[in-house]
Structure formats: C-alpha cells, structure tokens
Amino acid sequence: MAMDSFKLSTQVIDFQKQMWDNWNITLNVIEKQTSSAVHWAIRHTYWIPNERRKKMENYWSACLKERVRFKTYVDEGYNNLKKSLSETRAPVKPKNHPSQSKS
C-alpha cells in the first residue's frame, strides 16, 4: 500500500515543526532560569559599576529579543512551507488500465 507523497510530506513537516516547538519551549525555560541567575549575580556583584551592569542587562535583553524574532521567522517559514506545499499539490488523476482504453 503506497502512501500519498503529499500526506507523507505534511507529516514530516508537522513532526519537524513539533520538534522545533518543543526545543523552543525547553530553550525558553532554560533562558528564564539563566536570566534569573545572571540578574541576581549582577545585582549582588558590587564591584561592577552601574554603567557596566546596564550594558550587560541591555545585551541580555537584546539576546532575548533576537530569540523571539528568530522564533517568529522560523514559525513563518513553516507556515509558508505548508501553504506552498498545499497550493502546489496537483490533483491526482486515476490512471486508466490498458484494458479500459477505448479503441
């Protein structure tokens, strides 16, 4: 029994999208925990001048913004891929068996 290539392709894409979502959720949890630890360390390290602390926090927030932006791009890419795949799917025409041909 042969599987439809469109169905197989969409299943592979859906699986990859789910793996991306799971990885992104895991990264988000790690990022929140790391962020909490870094902010605590920065607040309790008194030998670092305030201007340096602000620069470090600005860098950290820029990294967070870029992660969100990257996730948006990847999500858009998956949506565009599925849309493109569904738009280019040609209807499958049943093949005539040689015995059914009109002569």
pLDDT by residue, tens only, the chain of 103 residues? 456 888 888 899 999 999 999 999 999 999 889 888 988 888 888 888 889 888 988 998 898 899 999 999 999 999 999 888 888 765 556 566 666 655 4
For residues 48 and 39, what is the distance between their CA atoms, to the nearest angstrom?
13
Query: Do the beta carbons of residue 85 and residue 13 sit within 8 Å?
Result: yes
CA 47 to chain centre: 40
Query: Do the beta carbons of residue 64 and residue 35 sit within 8 Å?
Result: yes
Q: Where are the beta strands (DSSP E) in the chain?
A: none
The model scores a pTM over 0.85: no
